[in-house]
Amino acid sequence: MKIFVVDKYAVITAVLILALVAAAVPVTHMALETSASQKPLPIYSVERPDKKISVTFDCAWGADDVDAIIAALKEHNCKATFFVLGSWAEKYPDAVKKLSDAGHEIAGHSYDHTYYTRLSPEEILSDMEKCDLAIEKAAGKRSDLFRVPAGDYNDSVINTVMGSGRFCIQWDADSLDYRDLSESEMEERIMSKVGGGSIILFHVGTKNTASALSPILTRLEKEGYGFCPVGELIYRDSYSIDHTGRQSALPRG
């Protein structure tokens, strides 16, 4: 009979390491980080075999340009994702319904743009639910996508959003339209940053976004890019996120 000698201190150390790894890297959506020490990150872009990209809008201000934005997107057969404040959905329910009826994806962006780094996990969960309820009332549907206010986050915020079953979405190509850039300035910014799997950021209720949209989409099409909502761009299980926030599918088998 063989006798195995177990070092109890080695066992205790191994158990502690496993516990720390489990606490640091929450298991959600069957995601695996590249390193146990890596900070939790939202999705900034997606590694894909094609040149699909997502056009996104944050909805927090006015809604006067919604019709023009819908028309420009339709012209290019572009289905976009709109990240909507709950308070915006309550103020402009007709605009939310128009966007949804046009086939665009409606997702949460907090209730009233409170910075989540100032809130507890319980307050964040409550705020996201309040936002989702307002969107559901206006659009008749919910989404598992979410964008934190102002893109402001820390480890606790990301763990709370992802732990709720939502995908936290950032961007890697910012139009800076909220600074009232001209159409040509926005176009050059986007084209200098975009790549396959990019997530582009615009805003509803800005000065030049609606008029700049069609020329930008035209140029993207000429460069061979195709459009799809964020929900179709990302991987929903068995993925990793690197230190830049780029999501990749894990090898099968």
Where does the chain show beta strands of DSSP type E?
45-46, 52-59, 81-84, 105-108, 145-146, 167-168, 173-174, 199-204, 226-227, 239-241, 246-249
Distance CA 79, CA 99 (A): 10
- Tens of pLDDT, residues 4-37: 333 333 333 333 333 333 333 333 454 444 444 4
At a CB cut-off of 8 Å and minimum separation 6, what does 85 contact?
A: 59, 60, 109, 110, 111, 112, 113, 131
pLDDT value at residue 96: 98
In total, how many domains does the chain have? Answer: 1
CATH code for the domain of 169: 3.20.20.370
Q: Quick one: angle between helices 183-193 and 209-222, nearest 10?
A: 40
Stretches where the chain sits below pLDDT 50 are: 1-28, 30-37
Distance CA 43, CA 170 (A): 6
CA 33 to chain CA centroid, Å, is 17
Phi then psi dihedrals of residue 132, to 5 deg: -60, -40
The total number of residues written for the chain in this structure: 253
pLDDT value at residue 253: 65
Tell me whether residue 5 is in a domain. Answer: no
For residues 212 and 72, the answer to whether their CB atoms sit within 8 Å is no
Tell me whether residue 4 is in a domain. Answer: no
Q: Which domain holds residue 194?
A: 10-249
Q: What tokens were used for 161?
A: 């959003």
